[in-house]
Amino acid sequence: MMGIDFSGRKVVVCGGSRGIGRATALGFAAAGAAVSICARGADQLEATRQELAAHGNLAHAGVCDLADADAIRAYIAAAGAALGGIDILINNASGFGMTDDAAGWAAGFHVDVMAVVHASQAALPFLQKAETPAIVSVSSISAYRPSGRSAPYAAVKAAVVQYTSSQAMMWAKQGIRVNAVAPGSIEFPGGSWEQRKEQGSPVYDAVLKSIPFGRLGHPEEVADVILFLASPMSRWVTGQTIIVDGGQLLFS
């Protein structure tokens, strides 16, 4: 990643076993960081942890339901202890609340919004001790347009954009930078877009036509921007959300 060196840095990726989270964790590990990841699925989590460890740096993993505030606090404490501190926090998880009902809203609110709040607050004492601390959260281009298909998801991702700017304002005097990325449609093995493609979903075809480069994005293309935002290369950037969508939002 453009020669960025994260040697000696301690990184926590919430929701780090697959997709964007996995690509981000692997990117940090390849750049020399010690990395901790969490997710609900123990098997996939351990497989990703082993991939991280193959880079020769400390790799820690903890099973955690990111809809559970107590579980988040316990995981962050364990990650901080295992890594010897936390310099960078990545908030990546989503509850994918799509249906406009109580269940859809609860899934989005508890994971997409409150997990960011709980993880950030739990990591704050560690970040305050770090030399160049940073938080990067993952929103979505859905935050920037109305959605008749997934109203709760769009609303909670908009909340992540807003909370990112508020966190940046609150914590700037403590030297903590806070930014976010807003990915477009990202395809990876086992992900929802691959499933739609295999099912021949018209939604997949419509989205594909809306992207001027003629393909969906890859997790690594989002991860590279996350690493940039967490690095000294973006040392004068805070409170921003960077859209990473190959022009999808412009043309859809």
Q: State yes or no: is 157 an active-site residue.
A: yes
Q: Judge whether 204 counts as a catalytic residue.
A: no
**Of 78, 194, 181, whose CA–CA distance to 137 is shortest?**
181
Selecting among 153, 163, 185, 204, the annotated active-site residue is 153
| Strand stretches in the chain, DSSP E | 10-14, 34-39, 59-63, 88-91, 134-138, 177-183, 241-244
Give me the catalytic one of 17, 94, 137, 140: 140
Q: Is there a catalytic annotation at residue 163? A: no
Read off the tokens for 186.
Answer: 């990202």
> What count of other Cβ atoms lies within 10 Å of the Cβ of residue 252?
15
Cβ-contact 104, 97 below 8 angstroms: yes
Active site (annotated) includes residue 140: yes
Q: Is residue 179 within 8 Å of 237, Cβ to Cβ?
A: yes
Q: Which of 137, 139, 150, 185 is catalytic?
A: 139
How many whole angstroms separate alpha carbon 84 and alpha carbon 173?
Answer: 24
DSSP 112: I
120, 157, 163, 204: the catalytic one is 157
Residues involved in catalysis: 139-140, 153, 157
